[in-house]
Structure 1
Amino acid sequence: MAQVRFFAAAEEAVGSPQLTVDATTLQALTASLSDEHPALAEILPRCSVLVDGVRVDGSWPLPGDAVVDVLPPFAGG
């Protein structure tokens, strides 16, 4: 199961800084999260998603011990 960590607005949308999700690909994981958390679904297309520290696309396979970070766009300076 993947450990998914949320930051900033993504954490607010989910209501938790971290969840455990059972998914075999990043696409399956994001679809599951979008279904369970409609507020996250609204911002997820603008988020950067890292798997084990590497930015990847939706078809990326997720190993059972993957750490996924969901990072919304940051503003400021």
Structure 2
Amino acid sequence: MPTVRYFAGAAEAAGCESEARSERRLDDLRVAVVGDHARLGTVLPRCAVLLNGRRVDADAELIEGDVVDILPPFAGG
């Protein structure tokens, strides 16, 4: 199962810092996490979504051991 890690405001909206998911495509995962964590609906559109540390297309396939990071915009410098 892929693991989703939420950071900063995304973790607050999800109510957890990480979770295992069963979705097999990134776009399905995005829809499912908003379905499970409604508050992510306002945060996720502004977030960078990385698969194993890289930006990928929304239709990327997910496999066992993948890590999806949900990173909201960070302030500072």
Task: Give CA deviations for 1:23-57 in whole Å, capped at 9, x if unaligned.
Answer: 11000101100111111111101100000111112
Q: 1:72: which partner in 2? A: 72
Cα offsets for 1:42-77 (capped at 9, x unmatched): 110110000011111211111121100000011122
Aligned residues with identical type, % of pairs = 44
Determine if the alignment matches structure 1 residue 7 to structure 2 residue 7.
yes
> TM-score, with normalisation over the residues of structure 1?
0.95
In structure 1, what is the equivalent of residue 45 of structure 2? 45
The RMSD of aligned alpha carbons is 0.8
**Number of equivalent positions:** 77
Partner SS for 1:5 = strand
1:45 match: secondary structure = helix
Q: Could you tell me how far apart the structure 2 residues matched to 1:59 and 1:42 are? A: 21
Mapped to 2, the partners of 1:56 and 1:49 lie a distance apart of 8
- Can you give the 5+ residue segments of structure 1 that lack an aligned partner in the other structure? none
Aligned equivalents of 1:7, 1:25: Cα separation in 2: 21
In the alignment, the residues of structure 1 paired with residue 44 and residue 56 of structure 2 have an alpha-carbon distance, to the nearest angstrom, of 14
**Unaligned ranges ≥5, structure 2:** none
Deviating beyond 4 angstroms after TM superposition, the runs of 4 or more aligned structure 1 residues are: none
